[in-house]
């Protein structure tokens, strides 16, 4: 399961990952029976639909 997820991330959602950030992918039991195509499509859809975090303008400066 871990190898399949890593390969799906490498092939289909690596574009959305930023250098210097850590990402956690939690596998559920459904991953065991899903085809690689289904697994990749679901992973890609979830990454693309994830809202991007926006820092508030009155917070701590980024360079601190």
pLDDT in tens, 46-57: 887 766 665 555
Res. 35: pLDDT tops 90: yes
Predicted local confidence at residue 53, as pLDDT:
60
Q: Within a domain: residue 59?
A: no
pTM assigned to the model: 0.62
Q: Within a domain: residue 63?
A: no
Q: Within a domain: residue 58?
A: no
Residues ≥6 apart with Cβ < 8 Å to 42: 34
Q: Within a domain: residue 37?
A: yes
Res. 13: pLDDT tops 70: yes
Q: Tell me the residue range of the domain where 11 lies.
A: 1-48
Residues ≥6 apart with Cβ < 8 Å to 48: 16
Q: Within a domain: residue 53?
A: no
Res. 41: pLDDT tops 80: yes
Q: Within a domain: residue 19?
A: yes
Domain count, the chain: 1
Q: Within a domain: residue 10?
A: yes
């Amino acid at each position: 399961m871990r190898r399949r997820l890593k390969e799906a991330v490498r092939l289909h959602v690596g574009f959305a990952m930023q250098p210097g950030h850590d990402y956690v992918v939690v596998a559920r039991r459904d991953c065991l029976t899903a085809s690689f195509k289904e697994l990749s499509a679901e992973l890609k859809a979830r990454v693309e639909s994830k809202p991007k975090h926006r820092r508030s303008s009155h917070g701590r400066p980024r360079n601190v």
